[in-house]
A and B are shown apart, each in its own frame.
Chain A
Amino acid sequence: MADSSQGRIDLTDKPALTFDGVDMVFPDGTHALAEVSFDIRPGEFVTVVGPSGCGKSTLLRIASGLETESGGAVQVDRSNIGFVFQDATLLDWRTVQDNVELFAELHDVPKDERADRALRAIETVGLAGFEGHYPQALSGGMRMRASIARSLMMEPPVFLFDEPFGALDEITREKLQTELIRLFMDNGFAGLFITHSITEAVYLSTRVLVMSSRPGRITADIEVPFDYPRSPELRFDPAFAELSGRVSRELRDAH
């Protein structure tokens, strides 16, 4: 497995993201996370599955710093984190090009450089030719691509995804999954990807974390041994079905 992902997973690396006994209680008393511990190393792509409302988004928001944990500790370099929300959160008044440039603009990257990098990111996500389009004129899938390009051009070492493909149709979803795997292989970030689809979790990741319903805790940490790049056919492989079955059982037991 280490070989197939081009040797980038080196377990001696320092983790890019560490959760250590993280607890989250909101001011209104909602206990969202309990004793959550895991870490993600560079070159790992970890997915989190769990029933809705179990605290998956809260987990990402704590990782990114949008929310502060009420107990435990989180270690991550927050100076450059990629975060892709469930909705594409593009700015309506900016073209694809200008939307993709946004973060670089906020970090005062010089105009020429950011235009260049944005163009490359747009091409990478397959939106070449749509630079001048406004979000209104794009399909849901294209908007999500633009949203991914926007974070991608910052080359973040840690990349968080909160159910980014949840609102897309099956075909678009599978296409974007394939491309996300390619992005992962080319860029070698540490990925943390939230989903409530078991197939998506197994297909994308090197590890699946299973969360129980609220308060969310991690009840299983399952290695996914399939080689990258993964062909779409993998989804129909008996080994894939077996692993999905295991995740599904863990999910049911976790309730």
Chain B
Amino acid sequence: MLIDPDTRSDAMTEPTASTAPAAATPSPTRTAPSDRTTASWAGPLAVFVAFIAFWYAAPYLFFSGREWLLPPPHDVINVGFIEGMSFGQLWALVKMVVSDVVPFWSIDPGLDTSVVFVANAEATWLSAKVALTGLGAAIVLGSGLAMAMSQAKWIEKAFYPYLIALQAVPILALVPLIGSIWGFGFFSRMLVCVIIAFFPIVANTLFGLLSAKKSHHELFALHGASRGTRLRKLMVPAALPAMFTGLRIAAGLSVVGAIVGDFFFRRGDPGLGSLLDKYFARIAQEELFAAIIMSAALGIGVFAFFGWLRSRVIGKWHSETGVG
């Protein structure tokens, strides 16, 4: 499957790309669809089974005498996702999300945080809010800066060294400073995400904006298009594929940023970072593994969302196989 010439580097776009208006994407190089669908779930399933088997075996293979370090998967599932859960609490979690998402409407959802899954889900939601707000701010600021930089070489040159510097400073070195200036609340956590997500967005957006061909620019020039028109109708659309590449990297990083920031600040509402730290300190391995699974799910969710968005927005005209 890996050497299938038609395998795209991005599995996320695959399903939606093929459900896009059929006429727009002829696929002469496709192998028979049934082959592909079989192969696409059989491989991952086999790896998953092997992984679970390894998980069960690992404590006895590597930590004999300290098997508790790696609790078996069913214990993790039980403690982290099932124990203490009720429909009432599931409903409370839904209310938590809804009251946060709908503006000017807040209710006390009545969460019982002694239930591990409820505590983990609440923390995941908090981290998700931090990551997504930070990412949103990074998108607005980053693509704004990239657009300014695309308008003149001197603007690009003026900013680039500082972007490289920002990118080079390890985020952990900045976290204490941010905390001491802006405190340990939502804003500081979000700022960590903005900083970590900023560079890939600026760099990729700029690359995309400058990727419009010279002959395309001339086409617009021939018809007297203004700079603004050219930016709107040529450079920005041409930049979209690269922007989505940057976005996906930035999205992953902003989740990392949210957890790292939280891990360090450890105050205020506990996000995933504080929770991981708490479980670690208590040697609560089942809870710890469950929280790790939740963080992974958050990362995957964000990644998948942007993959989906990408194929919604540009899937019809841009394929990563680079046809055309």
Contact between B216 and A133, CB atoms less than 8 A apart: no
From 283 to 324 in chain B, residues with beta carbon under 8 angstroms from any chain A beta carbon are: 314, 316-319, 323-324
Bound Cα distance A93, B317 (Å): 6
Which residues of A are interface residues toward B (Cβ below 8 A)?
Answer: 64-66, 81, 83, 85, 87, 89, 91-94, 102-103, 105-107, 132-137
- Pair B24/A132 contact, Cβ less than 8 Å: yes
Contact B317 A89 (CB under 8 A): no
Contact residues of B between 5 and 36, Cβ < 8 Å to A:
21, 23-26
Taken residue by residue from 244 to 266, chain B's Cβ proximity to chain A (1 for < 8 Å, 0 otherwise) reads as: 00000000000000000000000
Complex partner residue of A137 from B24, B218, B225, B234, CB under 8 angstroms: B24
Residues of chain B within 8 A of A66, CB atoms compared? 218, 221-222
In-complex Cβ contact of A106 among B23, B25, B26, B224 (8 A) = B224
Other than A89-B213, A89-B215, A137-B26, give 15 A-B pairs with Cβ distance below 8 A: A66-B221, A89-B219, A91-B216, A92-B238, A94-B317, A102-B219, A106-B220, A106-B225, A107-B223, A107-B224, A133-B23, A134-B316, A134-B317, A136-B317, A137-B23
Task: Let me know if B229 is at the binding interface, CB within 8 A.
Answer: yes
Q: Which 8 pairs between the two chains have the least Cβ-Cβ distance? A: A106-B223, A136-B324, A134-B317, A93-B237, A89-B215, A93-B317, A106-B225, A92-B317
The interface residues of chain A, by DSSP majority, are classed as loop
* A161 shortest CB reach to chain B, Å: 14
A105-B223 Cα distance, complex, nearest whole Å: 10
Contact A85–B314 (Cβ < 8 Å): no
B234: A residues at CB distance < 8 A: 91
Among residues of A, the one whose C-beta sits closest to the C-beta of B324 is: A136
Say whether, besides A93-B240, A132-B23, A135-B324, A81 and B222 are in contact (CB < 8 Å). yes
Q: B25: which A residues are within 8 A, CB to CB?
A: 136-137
The answer for the CA separation of A83 and B218 in the assembled complex, in Å, is 10
Q: Are A91 and B324 in contact (CB under 8 A)?
A: no
Can you list 26 residue pairs at the A/B interface with Cβ under 8 Å? Answer: A64-B222, A65-B222, A66-B218, A83-B219, A89-B216, A92-B317, A93-B318, A94-B317, A102-B219, A102-B233, A105-B233, A106-B220, A106-B224, A106-B225, A132-B21, A132-B23, A133-B23, A133-B24, A134-B24, A134-B317, A136-B24, A136-B319, A136-B324, A137-B23, A137-B25, A137-B26
Question: What is the distance, in angstroms, from B179's C-beta to the closest C-beta of chain A?
Answer: 43
Distance between Cα atoms of A102 and B316 in the complex (Å): 19
A78 to chain B, nearest CB (A): 9
Tell me how far the C-beta of A188 lies from the nearest C-beta in chain B, rounded to whole angstroms: 21
Q: A106 vs B217: C-alpha distance in the bound complex, in angstroms?
A: 13
What separation, in Å, do the CA atoms of A137 and B21 have in the docked complex? Answer: 11
Q: A137 to chain B: which residues have CB within 8 Å?
A: 23-26
Report the nearest B residue to A80, measured CB to CB.
Answer: B223
Number of interface residues of B (CB under 8 A): 29
The chain A residue sitting closest to B223, CB to CB, is A106
Provide the bound-state CA to CA distance between A64 and B24, in Å: 34
Minimum CB–CB distance from A102 to chain B (whole Å) comes to 8
Residues of chain A contacted by B233 (CB below 8 angstroms): 102, 105-106
Residues of A within 8 Å of B222, CB to CB, are 64-66, 81, 83
Q: Which residues of A contact B223 (CB under 8 A)?
A: 103, 106-107
A46 to chain B, nearest CB (A): 20
Which single residue of chain B is at the shortest CB-CB distance from A106? B223
Q: Which residues of the partner chain B approach A102 to less than 8 Å between Cβ atoms?
A: 219, 233
In the bound assembly, the distance between CA atoms of A132 and B225 in angstroms comes to 25
Chain A's closest residue to B212 (CB) is: A91
Residues of B near A65 (CB, < 8 A) are 222
Nearest residue, chain A, Cβ from B316: A134
Measured between beta carbons, the chain B residues less than 8 angstroms from A107 are 223-224
Name the B residues within 8 Å of A92 (CB-CB): 238, 317-318, 324
Kindly provide the distance from the CB of A156 to the nearest chain B CB, expressed in whole angstroms.
11
Residues of B contacting A93 in the complex (Cβ-Cβ under 8 angstroms): 237-238, 240, 314, 317-318
**B229 contacts A106, C-beta separation under 8 Å:** yes
Q: Which of B85-131 contact A (CB under 8 A)?
A: none
Residues of A within 8 A of B220 (CB): 106
Query: What is the minimal beta-carbon distance from B108 to any residue of chain A, in angstroms?
Result: 47
Q: Which residue of A lies closest to B224 (CB)?
A: A106
Q: Shortest CB–CB separation between residue B311 and chain A, in angstroms? A: 14
CB distance from B212 to the nearest CB of A (A): 9
Cα-based distance from A133 to B26 in the complex (angstroms): 11
**In the assembled complex, how far is the CB of residue A107 from the closest CB belonging to chain B, in whole angstroms?**
6
| B237 touching A91, Cβ below 8 Å | yes
| Cα A120 to Cα B26 with chains together (Å) | 26
Interfacial chain B residues near A89, Cβ < 8 Å: 213, 215-216, 219
Q: How far is the CA of A87 from the CA of B213 in the complex (A)?
A: 11
Residue of B nearest to A79 (CB): B224
The residues of B that contact A134 with a CB separation of less than 8 Å are 24, 316-317
Min CB gap A250→B, angstroms = 30
How many Å from the CB of A196 to the closest CB on chain B?
Answer: 19
- The docked-state distance in angstroms from the alpha carbon of A34 to that of B219 is 26
Bound-state CA distance A128–B22 (Å) is 18
B298 CB → nearest A CB, Å? 31
B240 contacts across to A, CB distance below 8 A: 93
